Structure 1
Amino acid sequence: MPYASNGETRLYYEAHGDGPPLALVMGLGGSIQAWGMQIPKLSQRYRVIAMDNRGAGRSDKPDVPYSIAGMAGDLACVLDAAGVDSAHVMGASMGGFIAQAFYHAYPGRTRSLILACTGASLYDPEGEPPDQTAMEIITRDRHGSTLRENMAAVAEVFYHPAFRRRVPDLVDRLTRFEEQLPQPPHAYHRQLEAVRAFDPAPDFQRGILAPTLVLHGADDRAWPPGNARLLARRIPGAELVILDNAAHMLMVERPQAFNDAVMDFLDRHRENNAGATGEYGRRHEREG
């Protein structure tokens, strides 16, 4: 199993396929498993480098403060270990924060950004806050709940009702996945603290000059779609795609539409030179 290191923290990653590098960064509590419907497709044309953030999956889970900037540094260490100078970077949810921070720390290593089911920050006055139930579930103390109770709460908030009806054993599946790669409560809360502490000024997004795709579910309760529209307004030249009948886990709920949007964007910026500046293509919005 390949590991990178950032100081004393070991970071698990996988590399699949050949072509221009594409880094995948998952969100709060998530692991590489969540990209299971993306890696086989994207690796047909790109070298996909998927990582487990500190605190999740097979990476180390130190009980020390985490930060979004620090996790962007983790991504840089993973790319170093994989022998990659620059990459397209796709981040989902908290991973979208990490992708934005990675661009600002390493603009010369960022070929493009794909920001999925994410936003500017939890506190941005122009953003659309999570609904109350979603926020309560995301921030609940996991020490006093069973694993299945936690996964039932995740299913309720992160997955579209239509998807839950199509997959009646969703909670059982999520529970089995978590049993394979358990995340200790302290690691979840360390990641959550990093999300809560991330509150950049609006110029943080306005300063992103890499080609950017903002990809979101129309029925996301954790990050309502107003946050995607805000990112697309702020980031120069950003493209916006909102998928109907999808919630927070749109890459699982509508994998073909998600993959098609990502591949269309990547293929148009396939050989982009990292570190270039200026506006990229025409701004366009698409829903469907």
Structure 2
Amino acid sequence: MPDLPLSDISLHYEVDGRGPPLLMLAGMLSDSASWGALAPLLSDHFTLIRPDNRSTGRTTPWDAETSVAQMARDAMALMDHLRHDTFHVVGHSMGGLMAMELFGLAPERIQALSILASAPVRAPRTMAVFDALLAVRRAPEGEQLWLRALYPWIFAPGFFTDPDNTEAALAAALAYPHAQSADAMAHQLEALRGFRPSVRPAELTCPTQVLHGAEDLLIPRAAAEEAFAEIPNVTQTTLPNAGHSIHWDAAEAVAQHLRQFHDTAGDPR
């Protein structure tokens, strides 16, 4: 897929599927490939638009100035480029924060919003986990060790009932040619650490649903539910047997919720 030249980066993105446009915003450490389990379940229902956020994937240079707000502006520039006047949005984790910032840029253009495993709250433990993972990654043999340390934080307990799942995930991650480097990971971590929202939940006036993972260790669910309860007419759902990687642990359930919710919000074309 093509790249979009912006003032200081070349933004890589993927487009596939057919139907109303659905902008898919990846979370921390992730790029367009992070939607790999969910995209095939939605491609006959939506036109899927998946950018690589700054410091990830094939977006270059990795060390361009980065912030959550800037990544939201990149996403809006992409939708301008693709000539989608109105569109649906789904954001995972940090991508959920990006989606809220995106709404602030042009609320009249967001047809409906789905937020997955995210929270507009300060979570010191989550940042401590990422800092520890980065330190492990920079140690000898760290490229394997940090991934093994990451998986218990992001996948539901059921993932670990079969040891082959860890080995398969590790092999796929190590073989991925566009993996975020340790330096780029540190760069993006600072962007997340410095995030201060400009859009509050109460200001989200478009149809909004929030999906929580019952086994999510990275997002303080009670605080997330309380914060998101301020959204007018919000729909909040907790999916069982799903961790922070809710779109992998419960891809079928997430896809069903996205299809049903965004259908009721109407076709923006």
TM-score, length-normalised on structure 2?
Answer: 0.90
Contact 2:219/2:244, CA 8 A, preserved across alignment: yes
What is the deviation of 1:6? Answer: 2.3
Unaligned runs of 5+ in 1: 124-128, 274-288
Please state whether the residue corresponding to 2:83 is helix, strand or coil: coil
| 2-structure distance, mates of 1:198, 1:58 | 23
Contact 1:220/1:247, CA 8 A, preserved across alignment: yes
- Equivalences for residues 43-58 of structure 1 within 5 A: 43-58=43-58
- Equivalences for residues 176-191 of structure 1 within 5 A: 176-180=172-176, 181-191=178-188
Q: 1:4 to 1:167 in 2, by over 3 A?
A: farther
AA partner of residue 137 (structure 2): R
Instruction: Please name the residue that 2:34 is paired with.
Output: 34
Q: 1:44 to 1:200 in 2, by over 3 A?
A: same
| 2-structure distance, mates of 1:48, 1:63 | 27
Please state whether the residue corresponding to 1:12 is helix, strand or coil: strand
Instruction: Please name the residue that 1:157 is paired with.
Output: 153
What is the deviation of 1:174? Answer: 3.4
AA partner of residue 78 (structure 1): L
Instruction: Please name the residue that 1:193 is paired with.
Output: 190
AA partner of residue 84 (structure 2): V
Q: 1:110 to 1:141 in 2, by over 3 A?
A: farther
AA partner of residue 101 (structure 2): A
What is the deviation of 1:32? Answer: 1.6
| 2-structure distance, mates of 1:151, 1:189 | 15
| 2-structure distance, mates of 1:84, 1:241 | 29
Identity %: 28
Please state whether the residue corresponding to 2:138 is helix, strand or coil: helix
| 2-structure distance, mates of 1:231, 1:187 | 30
Contact 1:147/1:175, CA 8 A, preserved across alignment: no
AA partner of residue 151 (structure 1): L
Say whether 1:121 aligns with 2:118: no
| 1-structure distance, mates of 2:206, 2:2 | 29
Counting matched residue pairs gives 267
Say whether 1:104 aligns with 2:104: yes
What is the deviation of 1:31? Answer: 1.6
Contact 1:15/1:47, CA 8 A, preserved across alignment: yes
Hey, which of these two has a bigger chunk of helix by percent?
2
Instruction: Please name the residue that 2:240 is paired with.
Output: 244
Q: What whole-Å deviation, never above 9, does each CA across 1:160-182 have from its counterpart, x for those lacking one? A: 12112246332442343343222
Report the more deviating stretch, 134-143 or 208-217: 134-143
Contact 2:32/2:51, CA 8 A, preserved across alignment: yes
| 2-structure distance, mates of 1:138, 1:208 | 33
What is the deviation of 1:138? Answer: 5.2
TM-score, length-normalised on structure 1?
Answer: 0.85
